[in-house]
Amino acid sequence: MAQVGALVTRGWLRKALEASTKNLRVLDTSLSRDASGREEYLDKHIPTAQHLDLTKCVQPTPTLPNNIPNAECFQEYAQSLGINHDSHIVVYDHGNYFSAARAWWLFRMFGHENISVLDGGTPHYGLNAAATFSNGEEHVEDVGDFTVNVNKSLIKNFDDVKDVIGSRSSQIIDTRRGKHFMGEVEEPTTHTLRALQATGQPLPKRMIRGHIPGSKNLPYELIICPDTGLMHTPEELKELFEGHGIKLNKPMIATSYTGFTNCIVALAAHICGKADCAIYYGSWTEWAQRADEDEQIRSPQKKKSMSG
């Protein structure tokens, strides 16, 4: 099967399913009511789709509530979903790209490049009169042979970002909303707080407002057309990057709240031809707890206690 682009349309996926395209694997990555999203998957999913639980194989910590999955565990998990080394994976979610983009990046970081995101997710897929949905569990006929081969160029940690601040060797793209970037609102966000609470460990004692020195702000929501729920065209995305002072021909590290929304911007960069945008997986949740005084751009209010 020829490699397809990073984004596929509902029409492309429907035709591929009707043709029973060889090596196609569809994964529902949605996160919702029960955190893993499994309940919603069992209620309604695109035919043949397996459920990919993004909380699987993850050992969260107070600074990394959405930590990277253990590689060996992830390999076995992907194999159990029937993923092979030559599979073309299509991931989707409920239309905000939040978890689909994260899954897209995870598989690429673990060495699997032949993966696409369904543009618009299930809301847009369901607009097609010919679209059908399934419920219940989908049977996996054979265990796959997917093997992890970590692409270290796509993942950055706290120390990597510290080095970049000093060397200016890469652009740092902050994908949070503008008010969070400017330190004008309380931290953590409601979503981040839920992620921290889900670790089952004591909440951190400080959460600084602001942004990493030298970073540029490109809120992830701008990547998506508000009228259609689809991603902007490559031409529009290139203009968006350029308008925010981001050069697609220069090294790039994307950061976010907890390591999800930065994957949306990395996906957009990939669509524009920038295939090596790296992800700082600890993002602001880690940085705001660990960075020194001179490594943070903050609002006048420096600290917020979360312990009451």
Written as six digits, the tokens of 262 are 């930065």
CATH no. of 153-295: 3.40.250.10
34: pLDDT confidence band, cut at 50, 70 and 90? low
* Residue 173 pLDDT greater than 90, yes or no: yes
Do the domains 153-295 and 7-150 match in fold? Answer: yes
Helices assigned H by DSSP within the chain = 10-18, 38-43, 71-80, 98-109, 121-125, 158-167, 178-181, 190-198, 234-243, 261-271, 283-290
Helices assigned H by DSSP within 81-189 = 98-109, 121-125, 158-167, 178-181
Domain 7-150 has CATH 3.20.20.370: no
Round to whole Å and give the CA distance between 57 and 41: 19
* Residue 302 pLDDT greater than 70, yes or no: no
Are 30 and 40 in contact by the 8 Å Cβ rule? The answer is yes
Give the E-state strand segments of 47-87 in sequence order. Answer: 50-51
184 or 132, greater pLDDT: 184
CA distances from residue 135 to 41, 67, 118, 203 in whole angstroms, order as listed: 7, 30, 19, 38
Cβ neighbours, 10 Å, residue 233: 11
- Helix (H/G/I), strand (E/B), else coil: 221: helix
Q: What average pLDDT does the segment 239-251 reach? A: 98
Round to whole Å and give the CA distance between 22 and 16: 9
CA distances from residue 137 to 31, 38, 192 in whole angstroms, order as listed: 17, 10, 31
Residue 135: phi, psi to the nearest 5?
-140, 170
* Residue 128 pLDDT greater than 80, yes or no: no
What single-letter DSSP state applies at residue 226?
A: T
The helix (run of H) or strand (run of E) holding residue 89 is strand 88-92
Round to whole Å and give the CA distance between 74 and 59: 12
Span 16-28, pLDDT tens digits: 999 998 899 999 9
Domain ranges of the chain: 7-150, 153-295
Written as six digits, the tokens of 38 are 């499994």
Span 251-292, pLDDT tens digits: 999 999 999 999 999 999 999 999 999 999 999 999 999 998
Written as six digits, the tokens of 105 are 């990046």
* Residue 1 pLDDT greater than 60, yes or no: no
By CB atoms closer than 10 A (0-12, 13-18, 19+), residue 288 is buried
Round to whole Å and give the CA distance between 30 and 91: 9
pTM for the model stands at: 0.93
3: pLDDT confidence band, cut at 50, 70 and 90? low
Span 47-68, pLDDT tens digits: 999 999 999 999 999 999 999 9
